[in-house]
């Protein structure tokens, strides 16, 4: 049985729009299709910006949480980069 794929991490805390989206985009470009990226943000605008960007670019938000003023997204890279 194969090991589950590692979840890659991106710390975008203390960054303001548009940097969390740009850093997410750059991190996903470096990953293979199907890889997962966990992004941690403190900019409340990312609650809208990151899911919208993912939808427009063919990626999937697997999970989205708010934990102690941090937005946490688990994103699966789609076929478009």
DSSP 31-76: S-TT-EEEEEE--TTHHHHHHHHHHHHT-EEEEEEEETTEEEEEEE
Neighbours of 15 (CB within 10 A): 16
Band of residue 44 on the pLDDT scale cut at 50, 70, 90: very high
* pLDDT of 2 over the 80 cut: no
Antiparallel, parallel or unpaired: β 7-12 and 60-67 = unpaired
Please count the residues of the chain.
Answer: 81
* pLDDT of 64 over the 80 cut: yes
How much is the pLDDT for 11?
A: 98
Q: Which of 13, 15, 17, 62 is catalytic?
A: 17
Q: Indicate the pTM of the whole model.
A: 0.92
Tell me if residue 54 is catalytic.
Answer: no
């Amino acid at each position: 049985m194969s090991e589950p794929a590692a979840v890659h991490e991106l710390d975008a805390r203390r960054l303001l729009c548009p940097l969390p989206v740009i850093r997410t985009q750059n991190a996903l470009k470096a990953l293979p299709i199907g890889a997962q990226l966990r992004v941690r943000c403190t900019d409340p605008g990312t609650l809208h910006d990151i899911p919208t960007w993912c939808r427009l670019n063919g990626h999937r938000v697997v999970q989205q949480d708010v934990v102690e003023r941090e937005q946490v997204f688990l994103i699966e890279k789609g076929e478009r980069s």
